[in-house]
């Protein structure tokens, strides 16, 4: 499995390098080339390439769409970093830190535009299908980001609201990538939607795992500052689970710690919130949630119109994605 994923990653990274051939103006394209080359898990392009390869045995046909979804994904990260005032991304300086805010906004905008241009090699019929899917996904990404901002400013949110938010913000692009791979691989909309639904469940579990690693991960491996969600008062499942099951005193303290008016220093805030989470078993609960979505992923994979040996590839990749450390 690892050998196959490395093969897809190398193929994609080589194609990416070939297409990062723009230079002028340097202060516009330089940040884009920098950001696209600082790594990342490449989950979306790998899923897209793998799906097309399994269905059609024509990897090269998947590459323009793969670079499209990765550019769109990275555009959202550039703007997320601005909104969150993040200094690091993948262990490196964010664009607005390395350059400035205006450069980050403009470079991010161009990355979004370029993502659509990468779809131009496809036939008119397929281009239309892919473009409609990408447009719908882009709208949902923005809606999810707004919900994320809104929920950080209120005392509590519901579990269902949180799941819907991460579906829009994270899952939809993963689902879009899989469906693109299926469409390019020759499947009808009906069968492509099976891959889409798999992507939705995989994406939700992926984001829950990301939230978990933000607090309980290891900084050197995770590549970002630990506790960022706490400092930004984000109401992840860890917060929601604790809020719903904690004692009155723990709940009051948690609300105070997440209040924008508290003057507690960052290290103390992260430490104390983490202690409250652990005390109330929030970490164990979210790991159970990940297992629940893993099971849903398996059920959907079993319905894929492919051989059993290829279904096993998707199950192995699912486990690799969901039980990562970064």
Other CB atoms closer than 10 Å to residue 12's CB: what's the count? 22
Mean pLDDT lowest among 14-18, 74-78, 220-224:
220-224
- Percent of the chain exceeding pLDDT 70 equals 96
What pLDDT was estimated at residue 154?
87
pLDDT (tens digit, 9 = 90+) per residue, 251-260? 999 999 988 6
What are the helix (H) ranges across the chain? 2-19, 26-36, 43-56, 59-84, 95-98, 101-117, 124-151, 159-166, 172-184, 189-216, 219-222, 228-231, 237-245, 248-257, 266-279, 282-301, 308-322
Q: For residue 196, give both structure tokens.
A: 């889409």
What are the helix (H) ranges across 246-305? 248-257, 266-279, 282-301
Q: Are 180 and 48 in contact (CB under 8 A)?
A: yes
pLDDT of 284 higher than 70: yes
What pLDDT was estimated at residue 58?
87
Q: For residue 206, give both structure tokens.
A: 């992926």
pLDDT (tens digit, 9 = 90+) per residue, 167-220? 999 999 999 999 999 999 999 999 999 999 999 999 999 999 999 999 998 766
* Phi, psi dihedral angles at 93 (to 5 degrees): -65, 140
Over the Cα atoms of the chain, what is R_g? 20
Query: What is the SS3 assignment for 309?
Result: helix
Domains annotated on the chain, with CATH: 2-322 (1.10.600.10)
Q: Give CA separation, 211 vs 9, 65, 70, 146, 231, in Å.
A: 25, 28, 21, 18, 13
pLDDT (tens digit, 9 = 90+) per residue, 270-280? 999 999 999 99
């Amino acid at each position: 499995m690892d050998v196959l994923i490395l093969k897809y990653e190398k193929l994609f990274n080589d194609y990416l390098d070939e297409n990062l051939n723009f230079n002028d103006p340097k202060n516009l394209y330089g940040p884009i080339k920098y950001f696209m080359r600082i790594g990342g898990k490449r989950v979306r392009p790998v899923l897209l390439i793998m799906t097309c390869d399994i269905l059609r045995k024509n990897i090269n046909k998947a590459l323009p769409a793969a670079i499209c979804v990765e550019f769109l994904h990275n555009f959202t990260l550039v703007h997320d970093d601005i909104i969150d005032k993040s200094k690091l991304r993948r262990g490196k300086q964010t664009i607005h830190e390395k350059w400035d805010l205006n450069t980050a906004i403009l470079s991010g905008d161009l990355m979004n535009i370029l993502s659509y241009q990468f779809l131009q090699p496809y036939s008119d019929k397929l281009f239309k299908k892919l473009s409609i899917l990408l447009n719908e996904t882009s709208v949902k990404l923005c809606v999810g980001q707004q919900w994320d901002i809104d929920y950080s400013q209120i005392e509590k949110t519901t579990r269902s609201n949180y799941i819907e938010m991460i579906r829009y913000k994270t899952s939809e692009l993963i689902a879009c990538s899989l469906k693109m791979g299926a469409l390019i691989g020759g499947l009808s909309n009906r069968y492509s939607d099976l891959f889409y639904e798999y992507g939705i469940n995989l994406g939700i579990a992926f984001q829950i795992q990301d939230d978990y690693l933000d607090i309980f991960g290891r900084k050197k491996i995770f590549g970002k500052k630990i506790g960022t969600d706490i400092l930004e008062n984000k109401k992840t499942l860890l917060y929601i689970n604790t809020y719903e099951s904690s004692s009155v005193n723990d709940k009051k303290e948690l609300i105070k710690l997440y209040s924008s008016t508290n003057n507690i220093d960052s290290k103390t805030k992260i430490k104390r919130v983490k202690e409250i989470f652990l005390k109330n078993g929030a970490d164990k609960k979210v790991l159970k949630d990940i297992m629940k979505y893993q099971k849903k992923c398996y059920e959907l994979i079993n319905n894929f119109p492919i051989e059993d040996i290829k279904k096993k590839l998707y199950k192995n990749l699912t486990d690799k994605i969901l039980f990562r450390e970064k």
